[in-house]
């Protein structure tokens, strides 16, 4: 059979259309449905193991280090731990390391990672819950009087957002890329602050920015202690958000939806 050259293909619309369709189907098929992890191991974290985080360590390796059940739930459902009620004492005190393999050879985006984590919590911890409305102390994220100081992202539209907190010797740094303000608020909500953060900025779009600040005892559950640098001090979080991003964190009260644990059990390792 005679092979078709590039010029011949271009002159045969039917064949060209078929090739485009096959290519599109192949590309679509490369991205799996991220419904659940292929395999996952959950083990008690060593008592002397410092730090805690959730991240992809490679294209298809998910790792949650040193997290309590309530911290895992907070991450999976984009909540502050104070928005989670009920459950036995161990859900606040026992820490776990979770290592999981994601399906396929395409890295899942953050939403897909959390969807698989939610399935894992239901399967391994037998987590069941309901939701209620409750008025409680919150931080409202608003636009400062000076206006936002945000740079539109230069990242490709389909690039995954990057919001990873970097711990430096004397302060913290958040280099954000292709991130929405809602995602930024969610990061502060479930990982940094001692109360929920509600995005009231009304700002849409995706942005690249860097935030640097000195944490205090109200952040990261009071577990992060960094020595002060008197020669080059970074502002506290509230001042940094206003000075560097043109946004404002205001302590107030407001309604928020909490998650109430109805049933949970300590996990099996595999």
The string of pLDDT tens digits covering residues 188-202 is: 988 788 889 999 999
Closest residue by Cα to residue 238 from 176, 170, 192: 192
Integer CA distances (angstroms), 100 to 57, 154, 168, 268, in order? 10, 32, 28, 14
Which pair of structure tokens corresponds to residue 125?
């911890």
Q: How confident is the model at residue 243 (pLDDT cuts 50, 70, 90)?
A: very high
- What integer pLDDT is reported at residue 181 of this predicted model? 96
Q: Is residue 32 a part of any domain in this protein?
A: no
- What integer pLDDT is reported at residue 22 of this predicted model? 35
Q: Is residue 43 a part of any domain in this protein?
A: yes
Q: Dihedral angle at the C-alpha atoms of 131, 96, 220, 194, nearest 10 degrees?
A: 20
What domain count does the chain have?
1
Q: Is residue 113 a part of any domain in this protein?
A: yes
- Is residue 227 over pLDDT 90? no
- What integer pLDDT is reported at residue 30 of this predicted model? 63
| Higher local confidence (pLDDT), 59 or 144 | 144
Closest residue by Cα to residue 206 from 187, 186, 240, 183: 183
- What integer pLDDT is reported at residue 159 of this predicted model? 84
- Indicate the average pLDDT of the chain: 85
Q: Is residue 73 a part of any domain in this protein?
A: yes
pLDDT digits 0-9 by tens, 58-99: 889 999 999 999 999 999 998 988 899 999 999 999 999 999
3-state secondary structure the chain: CCCCCHHHHHCCHHHHHHHHHHHHHHHHHCCCCCCCCCEEEEEECCCCCCCCEEEEEECCEEEEEEEEHHHHHHHHCCCCHHHEECCCCHHHHCEEEEEEECCCCCCCCHHHHHHHHHHHHHHHCCCEEEEEEEEEEEEEEEECCCCCCCEECCCCCCCCCEECCEECCCCEEEEEEEECHHHHHHHHHHHHCCCCEEECCCCCCCEEEEEEEECCCCCHHHCCCCCCCCCCCCCEHHHHHHHHHCEEEEEEEEEEEEEEEEECCCCCCC
Closest residue by Cα to residue 115 from 174, 25, 32, 199: 32
Question: 117 lies in which domain range?
Answer: 39-263
Mean pLDDT of 111-127: 95
Q: Is residue 90 a part of any domain in this protein?
A: yes
- What integer pLDDT is reported at residue 140 of this predicted model? 96
Identify any residues that bridge with 198 across adjacent strands, giving them in sequence order: 140
């Amino acid at each position: 059979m005679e092979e078709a050259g590039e010029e011949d293909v271009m002159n045969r619309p039917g064949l060209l259309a078929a090739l485009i369709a096959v290519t599109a189907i192949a590309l679509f098929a490369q991205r799996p449905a991220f419904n659940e992890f292929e395999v996952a191991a959950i083990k008690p974290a060593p008592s002397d193991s410092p730090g805690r985080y959730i991240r992809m360590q490679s294209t298809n390796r998910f790792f949650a280090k040193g997290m309590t059940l309530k911290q895992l739930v907070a991450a999976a459902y984009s909540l502050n731990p104070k928005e989670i009620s009920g459950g036995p004492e161990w859900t606040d005190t026992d820490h776990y390391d979770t290592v999981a393999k994601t399906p396929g050879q395409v890295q899942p985006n953050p939403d897909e990672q959390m969807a698989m984590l939610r399935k894992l919590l239901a399967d391994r911890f037998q987590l069941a819950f309901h939701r209620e409305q409750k008025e409680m102390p919150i931080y409202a994220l608003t636009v400062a009087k000076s206006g936002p100081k945000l740079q539109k992202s230069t990242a490709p539209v389909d690039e995954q957002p990057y919001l990873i907190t970097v711990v430096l010797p004397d302060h913290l740094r958040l280099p954000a890329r292709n991130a929405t303000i809602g995602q930024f608020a969610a990061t502060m909500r479930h990982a940094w602050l001692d109360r929920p953060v509600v995005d009231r900025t009304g700002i849409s779009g995706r942005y690249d920015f860097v935030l640097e600040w000195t944490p205090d005892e109200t952040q990261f559950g009071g577990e992060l202690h960094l020595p002060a640098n008197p020669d080059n001090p970074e502002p506290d979080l509230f001042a940094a958000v206003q000075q560097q991003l043109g946004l404002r964190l205001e302590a107030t009260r407001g309604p928020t939806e909490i998650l109430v644990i109805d049933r949970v059990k300590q996990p099996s390792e595999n």
